[in-house]
Structure 1
Amino acid sequence: MGVSMATAKMWVERWERQQRRYAVDREERFTVITDVVEHIAAGRSRPLLLDLGCGPGSLSARLVRRLPGAEVVAVDMDPVLLELGRTHHADAARYVDAVIGADGWTRSLELVRPVDAAVSTTALHYLDEPTLLDTYRAVAALLRPGGVLVNGDHFPPAAAPCAQITAQVGRRRAERTGGHRHEDWGSWWAAAAQDPELADLFAQRERRRPAPGGGGGTEQVCAARHAELLRTAGFRHVTPVWQFGDSCVLVAVKG
Structure 2
Amino acid sequence: MNVGSASGMGGVGTVPAASRWVERWERQQQRYAIDREERFTVISDVVERVTVGGGRSAPLLLDLGCGPGSLAARLAARMPAAEVVGVDADPLLLELGRAHHGTALRFAEARIGEPGWLDALLLERPVDAAVSTTALHYLGEATLRRTYRELAGRIRPGGVLVNGDHLDPDSPKVHELAVDIGRRRAERQQALAHEDWESWWSGVRADPELAPLLAARDRRTHPHCEGNKLTLNDHLALLRESGFEHVGTVWQFGNSHVVVAVR
TM-score (norm 1): 0.95
Moved more, 220-229 or 74-83: 220-229
Distance in 2 separating the partners of 1:106 and 1:6: 32
Distance in 1 separating the partners of 2:224 and 2:11: 31
Alignment of 1:90 with 2:102, yes or no, is yes
What's the counterpart of residue 246 of structure 2?
237
Deviation at 1:199, TM superposition (A): 1.5
Distance in 2 separating the partners of 1:59 and 1:22: 15
What's the counterpart of residue 221 of structure 1?
230
Deviation at 1:216, TM superposition (A): 2.7
Q: Percent identity?
A: 60
Q: Superposition pairs for residues 25-104 of structure 1, below 5 Å?
A: 25-41=35-51, 42=53, 43-104=55-116
Q: Superposition pairs for residues 154-233 of structure 1, below 5 Å?
A: 154-210=166-222, 215-233=224-242
Letter in structure 2 aligned against 1:132: L
* RMSD (Å) for aligned C-alpha atoms: 1.3
Moved more, 3-12 or 87-96: 87-96
What's the counterpart of residue 31 of structure 2?
21
Letter in structure 1 aligned against 2:112: I
Distance in 2 separating the partners of 1:217 and 1:137: 18
Runs of 4+ off more than 3 Å: none
Deviation at 1:202, TM superposition (A): 1.7
Distance in 2 separating the partners of 1:38 and 1:29: 14
- Asked if structure 2 preserves the Cα contact closer than 8 Å seen for 1:57 and 1:92, the reply is no
TM-score (norm 2): 0.92
Alignment partner of 1:22: what SS? coil
- Asked if structure 2 preserves the Cα contact closer than 8 Å seen for 1:98 and 1:108, the reply is yes
Distance in 2 separating the partners of 1:34 and 1:106: 22
Distance in 2 separating the partners of 1:168 and 1:207: 40
Where does structure 2 lack aligned partners over 5 or more consecutive residues?
1-9
Deviation at 1:220, TM superposition (A): 4.2
CA-to-partner distance for each residue in 1:208-250, whole Å, 9 max, x for gaps?
344xxx8433444211111111111111111100000001100
What's the counterpart of residue 150 of structure 1?
162
